[in-house]
Structure 1
Amino acid sequence: MFEDVDGDGDVDLLVTAMGGPNALYVNDGTGRFTEATAEAGLSLWAGSTSLALADVDGDGDLDLYVANYKRIALRDSLPPDVIAWERVVLRQGDTYTVAPEFADDYFVEVHGTKVFRFEYGEADVFYRNEGGGRFTRVPFTEGAFRDADGRPLAETPREWSLSVQFRDVNDDGAPDLYVCNDFESPDHFWLNRGDGTFQAVAPLAVRKTSHSSMAVDFADIDRDGDLDFFLAEMLSRTHAMRQVQRGTPPPLPRAIGDLTTRPQVMQNTLFVRRRDGTYAEVANLAGVAASDWTWSARFLDVDLDGHEDLVLTTGHAFDVQHSDAIEAERARLGRVRTFDDYKRLILDYPALAQPNVAFRNRGDLFFEPVPAGWGLGETPDVTHGLAAADLDHDGDLDLVTNRLNAPPGLFRNRASAPRLLVRLRGLPPNTRGIGAQVTVEAAGLPVQRQEMISGGRYLSGGAAELMFATGSADSVRVRVRWRSGRERTLWAKPNRVYEIEEAAGR
C-alpha cells in the first residue's frame, strides 16, 4: 500500500506478508525507496492481511492498524492425530482444560452440555505514529480499547482478521474502526472516543454479522446523510451450489430472543444506519445476501448516477465446503500414513473459479445484479484484492485485481457520463488529506459524500482519489471538511480533476 507515512509529501510503501516480515520502504522524493522497517518500529513477523491508516488521535499524522490472520495455523500444519480432541482437551469431572502444550493455540468453551474447542487466531497490532514516520506499538489492554461498557480490555483479542477499515461512522470528526474476522471469531466494531481510544459498539446497535467476514466497505447507499456498511461472506448465488456446499456452521447455540448474543450468519450482510445510531440488517431485502466466495468489496458509482454500486471479487483455490469432497476426505483419512499424504488430501477438493460480481444500486435500497459484472465477471477465476485508481487520467476510477495463479486483472473504466475526480493536498504530515469528508452537490442528483481513506481493503489498497457523478449540471458545489477541522467550499466544473489544498481552507 502506498501512503505518505512520514509526512514529507511523497508516498512510501507498506507491504504485508503472510508468514513473513512486514516491511516499510521510505521514498526519498526521487522515486527511490529505502527499507526502514526497523527504524520506524514496524518490525512484525505475522500473518498480516490488511492495513489501514488514519489520524486516530487528531495530532495530524497517520496511525496504523494491522489486521493479522495467523502465521501458522495448527489446523493446516499438523496431522489430525496430533491435534485430536483427546490430545488437546483434558477433562477432570465437569471441568475441561487445554493440554499445556496446546494452551497457546486452543481454548475451550462449555455451553450447557456441549463442549467446544476453538483455535486462537493471531493478535492484531495497532501503532501510534509519533511523527516523522516513527511508530509505537499500542497495547490493547491499557485503555486504548474498551468494551461496550467502557471498561479497558483485560485480554488482547486473538482473532482471524482478514480486513480492517477506518471510517467516521458517526460524523464526529474522529475515525472509527471495523475489523472483519474469519470463522467463529467475532467481528470488532470500535467507536473512537475522540481522544484516540476506542470503545466497542453497543451490543444492540448491531444485532448480527456475517459468520466468516472477508471484507467491509462503507457508503451512504440510501443518500440519507450517514454511512451504511456491507460485509462479504461466501453464500453461493445458485440453489444447486447451496445444496452441494457445506458451510462451517456457527457451533454455539443461539436462542431466539436472546439479546445477549450477536449471531453470525453464513451470508453477506448489509447494514443501514438508523437515526439513533443502530443498524438494520437488510442484505436479503436489498438483494446482496449472496455473491459466491467473496474476498474484496468496494462501493463505487460505476454508472455515475449518483448512487454507489457494489463490486466484489470471488473464487477460491479449492472448494473446501464441497460435501462430496468432504466425504471423500473422511474416507481416505484412515489410509493416510504420512503428513505429506494428509496435506495432499486437499487435492480431493475441486477448484472454485468464479466470475466477479457487481450489483447496481437502484437508489431505493435495492440492488440488481449486473450481467458479467460490468466486464469484471466475464471469465471465472480466483480473485482476491481490488484496488481503484485513475490510471489513464480521464477522471474516472479504473480497477486492478490480484488473481491466484494468474496475472493481475486490469479493467479500464469506459464511463462516458459527466464526473468529477477529487484529490486532496493536506498540510503535513497528513499530506493526502486522509480522513477528510468531501461532499458534492449537483443539480438533479442526490447529495454525495465520501471520505478519503487509506488502505482498508483485503490484500489491497487504492489511490487517494474520490469520484463523483455530476449529471447535467454546468457546475457543482464541492465542500471539504478536513480532519483538522478546516473547511473549504468551491464550485467545480464537470469532467475535471481537482486537487484541493487544505492551506486555502479556513
Structure 2
Amino acid sequence: MHGPRALEGPVTPVSLRQFFPCAAIGVGLGLFTSSCSDSSESGDTGSNTSTVLSADATFRAMVATEETIAKLVPPLNRLGRAVRDLSLPGHFASSVFAVEAVAIDLGNVGDPKADARLPLQHHEWEVSTFEVRVADLRGGLWKALWEEVDGLEDARFGVLRGRITGNGTFVTELTFSARGWKKKEITAWKGRVDLHWQKNGESWQITRWVTRQMHVTRAAAPLFREVLGSALPNPSEYRRARSSIHERYLREVFFTGSTTFAYPKDYWIYVLSWDSLDQHTSVSVVDIDQDGWDDFYVTARWGRNQLWRNRGDGTFTDIAPRVGLDIDGVCNCALFADFDNDGDQDAFIGRSLERGQYYLNEGGRFIESSSLIDAPLPYWASALAATDFNQDGLLDLYISTYRLPISKPMNILASRFLEPLEREEFKNRRRRDHPVFRLTGPPNVLLVNQGNGRFARVPEAGGTDLWLSTFQSTWSDYDNDGDPDLFVANDYAPDYVFRNDGGTFVDATRELAGEELQGFGMGVSLGDYDNDGRQDPYFTYMYSKAGSRITGMFEGLERRMYEGVAGNKLLRNTPDGFENVSGHGPGKMQVMRTGWSWGGQFSDFDNDGFLDLYVANGLYTPPPGSATEVDL
C-alpha cells in the first residue's frame, strides 16, 4: 500500500476521505475547548473565563495556521517537481520565489561513514555559513545535490510546523526526502528546511530559504528488486495477478458515477461505502504441497482468491481452483496451519460480508469443514492468529474482528451480522462508547481445538472478546513462562496485552506498559531486537504531520490525543515491564515516523543476526490525475 501522492488534478470525492482524519482532530479539539466552559464548578469564574479565552484564541490560531499551510501545499508540490527535475527554482518553481529571495544553501558533502552492519555509506552535508540572493546562485539552489545523481524518482517536502510572525511572514519548518540513482548506486536524502513566506496578491512566495541539515545514505545496489514479470511467465496469469476488480469499480464510480456489479445489491451497499475501505485483503505464505518451496495465497475483495504454487525454478502458477481454495470475494485474511494434526496444512479464511470459513486439507484437496465448529464463524474478520494457548498439543485460533460500518443504521447492521445475544450487547455498548477513543466493534473470537479438526467457541473469548475494532493480534511468550501471551492492536481504542496464566487470560496492559498503548493500533509484531532473550513488541500506529502540528499548539490535552498522531512505538521488554525506546531525540530508536502505517513486522532481512523492521504505510493511492493536494 502506498501513501497519498501529491499530484495535480481535479478534486474528487477522495479529497473528502483524505481530509476526514484532520477534520476529526479539529472536531476533537473543539470538544476539548468547549469542555472548558463546563468545568466552572469551583466558583473561580475569572480564572475559567481566562482559560476559555486562551483556548479559543489558540483554536483560532490553529485554524488560521492550518488554512495557510493548506494554501502552501501546491507551491510545495511545485518545489518537489523542480527538485525531481534537478533544477531549483528552475522552470517549475520560479514563480514560488520572490524576486529578492535569499537563501542559505548546501555546502560541501562530508566524508563518508561506513555502516558497521549494512553495505551502506552515510554522509552529513555541510550547510553554508552565509546568505545569498537566490537569483545570484549559478545553477540554483542545491546544485551540489544534482551533481551527485543521474536522476530522482521521488522528492517531497512535508510541513512539520508553521507559525505567523508579526510582519506578515509565515514561517514553515519542513522535512525533505528524496530517492535517486547514479548508475547502479542508490541514494536517499533526508533533510530539514525552513522557509519564510510573504503573500504577494493571492499567492504566497518564498522570501528566505534556510537549509538546516541534509543526511545522505548510499547503497551500491537495491536490497530488493521486482521480479513478478519473470515469476509469472504466463501472460494471462500475470495480468490476473496485476488486476484489481475493486480498483476498476472505484474508477467507474469516481469517473462515470455508476457501474454494474457482479454481486447482489446488498453486497455493494456495504462494500462500496467508505466504511468498507477499512476492510483489507492479504497475502499468506505457506508450503502448501510440502515440497520445500514457499507458496503464496492472495485474498480478494472482489473476484476469486489465488494460490500461487512455487514450481521451484523461480516461477509460480495459480492452483486455487484445483485444490478448492478459489473462494469468491470479500476475503480479508487467511491462515494456514495443521489444525487436525495429520501432517498437512489446513486453512481458516476470514471474511467481511460473509462468515469465515474453515477448510481441512484432505490429500491436497481443501474441504469446507466449518460444521466441525460448534458455533458460526464471525463476519468482519480482520486477522487470524493460531497457537496452542492451553498447551494440549492442539492449535487454537484467535479471530480479530473490525467494526461494522458506522454510516449505516445500527439495528440493520446488528441484525445482519451479529447473533441475537451479540446484537443486544453491541447496542448496549454503543450507547456508552467514545467515537474516537473507544469505538464499539464486534467481539473477537477464541476457538479452542478439541481434536480431530473440531473446535469450540470459548465464551467471551476467555475475557479477550473486547468488543472493539481490532486490526491485528499476535501470540508471543513475552514473560518466558512457557505459554503464549496475547497482544491485541485496536483502532479507535487502546491496545491490550493479555498474560496467559495456565490457560487463563489476565489483562496486564497497564502493569506492563502504563499509558503507552493509546494510539490507533494498526498492527503489533514481536521480536527480540536487542538479542537479550526477551520478546519486544512493536506497535504500528499513525504518524500525521497535520495532527502533530495541531495537537502541538494546545497544552493540557489528554495524553491519548497526542498519542493518536505521534507514530509507532518500540517497547523494550525488561524485567520491570515494557520501556518505550522509540523517539526522535539522541539515543532513541528512530522507528516512529513511518507515516500512516500498517502491520510493521520484524525480520532479519540482511542475515546479520539482528532483527530489522519493515513497515508498510499509506492510506489510499488514487488513480493518476485524481489525487488531491492534501498533506496529512
Normalised to the residue count of structure 2, the TM-score between the two structures is 0.40
**Which has the larger strand fraction?**
1
Structure with the greater alpha carbon radius of gyration = 2
TM value normalised by structure 1: 0.50
The structure that is helix-richer by fraction is 2
